[in-house]
Structure 1
Amino acid sequence: MSTDRATTRPAAPAGRPMGRPGGGPLGMGGAPAAKALDFRGSLRRFVVVMRPERTRVVWLTLCGIVSVALTVVGPKILGEATNVIFAGVVGQNLPAGATTDEVVQGLRAAGDTTQADMLASMDGVVPGQGVDFARLGEILGWVLAIYVGAFLFGWLQSRIMTVAVQNTMRRLRDDVEAKLHRIPLSHVDKQARGEILSRVTNDIDNVAQTTTQTLAQLVTSVLTVVGVLAMMFWISWVLALVALVTVPLSVVLTMQIAKRSQPQFVAQWAATGRLNAHVEEMFTGHALVKVYGHQAAAAETFARENDALYDASRRSQFISGTMQPSMGFLANLNYVLVAVIGGLRVASGQLSIGDVQAFIQYSRQFTQPLTQIASMMNLLQSGVASAERVFELLDAPEQEPDPTDPERLGTVQGRVAFEDVSFSYVPDEPLIEHLDLVAEPGRTVAIVGPTGAGKTTLVNLLMRFYEVDGGRITLDGVDTRALTRHDLRSRIGMVLQDTWLFKGTIEENLRYGVRDDADVDADAFLAATRATHVDPFVRTLPDGYDTLLDDEATSLSAGEKQLLTIARAFLADPEILVLDEATSSVDTRTEVLVQQAMNALRVGRTSFVIAHRLSTIRDADLIVVMEHGRIVEQGDHDTLLAAGGAYARLYASQFAAPLTDDVEDGD
């Protein structure tokens, strides 16, 4: 099958303007509904999406447990090193030969109770002996080994996490890609392309970035809070309770900030989608924008949407940005309380200085993951907002599924029948009602009529881009709804007024419509390109058929691009042809040559030709004239002209000479 992916725009019902809602060369495109973010629901759904990676999540959690355990043990052991140094400094200043107990008793006798209590609580003090560097080196060696081990397990956790996240994103992109193929054209017509692209690209990338930055960190932070809290209670339950005073304040502060920033992130990504839709439309139609002098209007619209995005982003980032400095303030408050109370307990001999040092480190380690969790709420809200937009796309209504036991087409004769067909784009606004039309095998049916009459709609119904509301369409007597869409569309070659070429060589573009089981050799390929007059202009290009086209094919003229799409239909060798204004971009001389080639191609094939230029369909076997979704006339060219009806009026409007009264005597 040879089809242009960008299908023709459906005809509008009578009295209804054409175009997508909010579309048009300068339209903004539809924005997503501004509703409250279902944070919990979307988060739970994303967890389900990650379920296939649960084994890796378990492993990264185990690595996180080991890494955190080693990290948590480190300060306690490092505190022992501090005790060794402090004991050496104190012992060096005590008289040699005396025992520690004798020194303590002497201090008490002298009335220095505080210093006596502190010395009595210290281990490893030898009067007259300095720092035990052997013991110190052993402790530092263990500390180094512990931190190296924590680093290695943390690195392994990060690597596993990256694989898990990227696998999830790949599946999510696959799901979105598959969904896009199941979305009916009616849904796509209601959306701006830039909005859909924003969900497929920006939002999925944001989900990936958020998950990468938060998944492992969230696991590590939670484990760190638990581990550090256990060590704090082990060292001193009094200081642990002091450190916990700030936790309720942190929770309340986090919830309040998150509650206010959450709607702003929804607005931010909605504004991003609208801005992308506008930029994509302006870039695609930049030539028309300049031709009609709408640069200022386009710039004004861009500025308005850019300002909206700026405002939403500023509010969301400002509100969520207050979280980290607020948590930092609480952390500093916690540090002051621990340092003061810990110093008093060291002075009273209830704690060693190494334990206080370790506890201060633990208090920092305790507040740091809380701060990180609070900061991650910023990213998490943004990521969940994007995830919800992706899920909205995945939840979009789908086209009717193919039958479970479909009919199979063998050799297609090409008889197409519209039997009592009714259809409407908008409920209660019928466009086509009780239409009957038969295209016999090998015959050419031309469909003409004014804009909005429903000509392209018939083709869309035949291709099952839209489903009929009543009646049926048959191919060789088989209801097209009993066939799979792939089987049906593989029998139809389609050339649209709007050309579509992808980034690749000219030959790759031409072979795009060839069936997988078809074998088009070099001779057949060359014959098709010569028949459509593609070969002469391609051979003038430096690289010939290997010439690389960009996605806009800017190196080719509109007529040359149209010829390529016609050649693509030739190579597809379909049983049914659909030509929707296929020669509208071709010059008059080339049009005659292409018409001759199409006449040869149409032999033995059923063809539907939609045309405004009536000169191109004079030789059609059947000409169907449509007005307001109804067939008002049908017959061949001569019969319809003789009838003097709608076709004759259309023909006369195109070929009647213009009347002038400007001729003066002597001119």
Structure 2
Amino acid sequence: MNYNINQLSGQQQKTSSLKAVKKLYSLIAHEKRNLIIALIAILVNSSLQLVGPLLIGHAVDAYVTTKQYNGVLMIGGILLAMYLLALGTSYMQTKLMGSVGQRTLFTLRNALFNKLQELPIAFFNQNKAGDLISRLNNDTDKINQFFSQSLMQFIGSIVTMTGAGVFLLAINIELGAATLLPALLILIFTMMVSPWVKRKNATNLKSVGSMSAEIQESLNNFRVIIAFNRRDYFLKRFNDANHQNYNTAIGAGMANNVFLPVYGLFSSLAQLIVLALGIYLISTGSFTIGLLVSYLAYAVNFYNPLRQLAALWTSFQVAMAGWDRISQILSLQSNLTDRSTGETTALHKPGLAFQNVSFAYPNGSEILHHVSFDLLPGKTYALVGPTGGGKTTTASLIARLYDPTHGTVFLNGRDIRTYSAEERAKKISFILQEPILFTGTVKDNLLYGNEQLLKYNNEELEEVIKESHLQKLLSVFEQGLDTPVSASGESISLGQKQLIAFMRAVLRNPEILILDEASANIDTVTEHLLTEILDQLPEQTTRVIIAHRLNTIEKADEIFFVNSGNVIPAGSLDHAVEMLMQGKRAS
């Protein structure tokens, strides 16, 4: 299955505005009460703003022209009270929507992160971490900004425009129609330009993600850059990514600002129409000065929100572009689905078995071809073969990091897909070539994912370590369980990282323990100690060892030669060495 979110088809990547709005609403459906209150506040605010021009026009005709200044003061007091109330409602909806936006951001990031946790390793192999981080941080924040800052302004502007349009037509339908004519041109322009604006913002968000990915990758590999003195290479790649982001940002900026001047032009045109026709109507005696003042105010109340909508529509397009990138991930489904049945198959004994297993990575050639073999409980098995022969892939299938393209992997006679992730993790431990640790202490990393020991204090945990014959490995660390560990690995050596990973796996008491080059970065004495610990594991524990140093597999009960898509019993160690040499010469 292709999980590369940057290579999805155009149909998969695009979301219509209506569908996007529906999906976005589903994120804030639980905020319905707050949304209704904010909407009422907006309606009250807009209504008060719309009544104002009518009162001003009435004051001009009834009190100013007749010099009844008491009436002017009375209208002024009413207007002051209205505008203060409008200020209060505006503050209320701003506060409510700010809270809604932050809760939406929290919900969306949780949903996105939870979805990332559900996806298989194949997804992370096909997508850059920096781009995923950008989607989780930057793109979700664009949606938050729309909810907290733009949504109610958007609704308020539409309500104000609609009300102003109704007043314009009610006061004089011919003049109102002429005044609203530029709005029709604005609508046509917006419909034509909006898809282009969205594409420009989507391209910019993608380039931000690419630049984030480039920075993350370069910083992770900075030691190599320094060792080979290739700062120039680092700088060139960053400059290329930065230049691309600059160009897309310029394009997005131009697209985002194209609405405002156009809307301003048509707004000015509408006011000229009002003045010209209004003065003409006054000259014919069918219009009053007060009505013209009110009419101009309503024209402003119609076109000013329309100009605000230019900026708000841009914010909506940015949010939609961000939502497209987020929804690409939320719509993915893991291909590692658990099967409901857990019945035992009589064809297989306890332990692990491959039955006619084939495997290929996405968009790649087949690595394993119709492989079948059995691993019995309590035995030690070694996988040897040339680099790239498929040893790690075979081990990954044993641990169900991937599912076979064809065939079935059985664990204790059951299809391994019938086990839940929790059951499988308890039964199988995998020590990777490059151990992954988390910032904290040695204790934190040893207890990671081990619910049985999670509440143990240091003394209790040290007793368990002693019973597992791991105390000599713990003594390597100066502060024991409290030795600080950083995710970057600067605080401890690579060999010490492998020791922590080894201890973490053994403490889980797994039925199957997979060691992928687990002794590659440790000294010979410590390697011998690891061998002794492996010999003291429970009798039912099956050990699967991948190693290039043949002395680490001398005591293996059975050796498999893995190469060219096949897993073949190699017999003795000498025979395995001979097959390995032949494989290297053939490659």
Q: TM-score, normalised by structure 2?
A: 0.88
Distance 1:217 1:516, change over 3 A: farther
Residue 366 of structure 1 deviates from its aligned partner by 0.8
Q: Which amino acid aligns with 1:68?
A: S
Q: Which amino acid aligns with 1:305?
A: A
Residue 482 of structure 1 deviates from its aligned partner by 2.2
Offset from partner CA, 1:435-479 (integer Å, 9 cap, x none): 232222222212121111111112211122211233322222222
Offset from partner CA, 1:585-634 (integer Å, 9 cap, x none): 22333333333333323654111111112222222222222222323343
Q: Which amino acid aligns with 1:457?
A: T
Q: Distance in 1 between matches of 2:577 and 2:441?
A: 49
Q: For residues 379-394 of structure 1, what are the structure 2 equivalents within 5 Å? A: 379-394=315-330
Residues paired across the two proteins, number: 575
Q: Distance in 2 between matches of 1:507 and 1:177?
A: 26
Q: Which amino acid aligns with 1:448?
A: V
Does structure 1 conserve the Cα–Cα contact (< 8 Å) formed by 2:342 and 2:415? no
The reply on whether 1:418 has 2:354 as its aligned counterpart is yes
Match of 1:491 in 2: 427
Q: Distance in 2 between matches of 1:608 and 1:643?
A: 16
Offset from partner CA, 1:391-449 (integer Å, 9 cap, x none): 1122234224222344699xxx9722223322233579432223232222222212121
Residue 583 of structure 1 deviates from its aligned partner by 1.9
Distance 1:406 1:211, change over 3 A: farther
Residue 238 of structure 1 deviates from its aligned partner by 4.7
Q: Which amino acid aligns with 1:640?
A: L
Match of 1:448 in 2: 384
Corresponding residue to 1:507 among 443, 453, 456: 443
Unaligned runs of 5+ in 1: 1-19, 22-28, 88-124, 653-667
The reply on whether 1:641 has 2:580 as its aligned counterpart is no
Match of 1:535 in 2: 474
Distance 1:519 1:149, change over 3 A: closer
The reply on whether 1:267 has 2:203 as its aligned counterpart is yes
Match of 2:235 in 1: 299
Q: Distance in 2 between matches of 1:427 and 1:354?
A: 73
Q: Distance in 2 between matches of 1:644 and 1:168?
A: 60
Distance 1:632 1:493, change over 3 A: closer
- Please state whether the residue corresponding to 2:451 is helix, strand or coil: coil
Residue 48 of structure 1 deviates from its aligned partner by 4.4
The reply on whether 1:77 has 2:55 as its aligned counterpart is yes
Residue 365 of structure 1 deviates from its aligned partner by 1.4
Residue 318 of structure 1 deviates from its aligned partner by 0.9
Residue 143 of structure 1 deviates from its aligned partner by 1.4
Q: Distance in 1 between matches of 2:108 and 2:54?
A: 44
Does structure 1 conserve the Cα–Cα contact (< 8 Å) formed by 2:182 and 2:270? yes
Corresponding residue to 1:132 among 69, 73, 79: 69
Match of 2:495 in 1: 559
Q: For residues 364-383 of structure 1, what are the structure 2 equivalents within 5 Å? A: 364-383=300-319
Corresponding residue to 2:144 among 188, 198, 208: 208
The reply on whether 1:620 has 2:544 as its aligned counterpart is no
Does structure 1 conserve the Cα–Cα contact (< 8 Å) formed by 2:342 and 2:414? no
Does structure 2 conserve the Cα–Cα contact (< 8 Å) formed by 1:641 and 1:647? no
- Please state whether the residue corresponding to 1:565 is helix, strand or coil: helix
Does structure 2 conserve the Cα–Cα contact (< 8 Å) formed by 1:455 and 1:610? yes
Q: Distance in 1 between matches of 2:166 and 2:135?
A: 44
Q: Distance in 2 between matches of 1:260 and 1:169?
A: 26
Distance 1:232 1:470, change over 3 A: closer
Match of 2:218 in 1: 282
Distance 1:279 1:33, change over 3 A: farther
The reply on whether 1:158 has 2:136 as its aligned counterpart is no
Offset from partner CA, 1:92-132 (integer Å, 9 cap, x none): xxxxxxxxxxxxxxxxxxxxxxxxxxxxxxxxx3xxxx653
Match of 1:12 in 2: none
Match of 1:143 in 2: 79
Q: Distance in 1 between matches of 2:364 and 2:55?
A: 79
Match of 1:3 in 2: none
- Please state whether the residue corresponding to 1:553 is helix, strand or coil: coil
The reply on whether 1:466 has 2:405 as its aligned counterpart is no
Which has the larger share of helix? Answer: 2
Residue 33 of structure 1 deviates from its aligned partner by 5.0
Does structure 2 conserve the Cα–Cα contact (< 8 Å) formed by 1:414 and 1:442? no
Q: Which amino acid aligns with 2:507?
A: L
More off after superposition, 231-240 vs 575-584: 231-240
- Please state whether the residue corresponding to 1:555 is helix, strand or coil: coil
Does structure 2 conserve the Cα–Cα contact (< 8 Å) formed by 1:414 and 1:606? no
The reply on whether 1:338 has 2:277 as its aligned counterpart is no
Offset from partner CA, 1:151-192 (integer Å, 9 cap, x none): 222222233333444444434333322322332322332222
Distance 1:428 1:329, change over 3 A: closer
- Please state whether the residue corresponding to 1:404 is helix, strand or coil: coil
Q: Which has the higher contact order (CA 8 A, sep 6+)?
A: 1
Distance 1:519 1:38, change over 3 A: closer
Does structure 2 conserve the Cα–Cα contact (< 8 Å) formed by 1:633 and 1:647? no
Does structure 2 conserve the Cα–Cα contact (< 8 Å) formed by 1:422 and 1:434? yes
Does structure 2 conserve the Cα–Cα contact (< 8 Å) formed by 1:528 and 1:570? no
Q: Distance in 2 between matches of 1:83 and 1:408?
A: 92
Q: Distance in 1 between matches of 2:99 and 2:508?
A: 41
| C-alpha RMSD over aligned residues | 3.3
Corresponding residue to 1:315 among 242, 251, 264: 251
Q: Which amino acid aligns with 2:399?
A: M
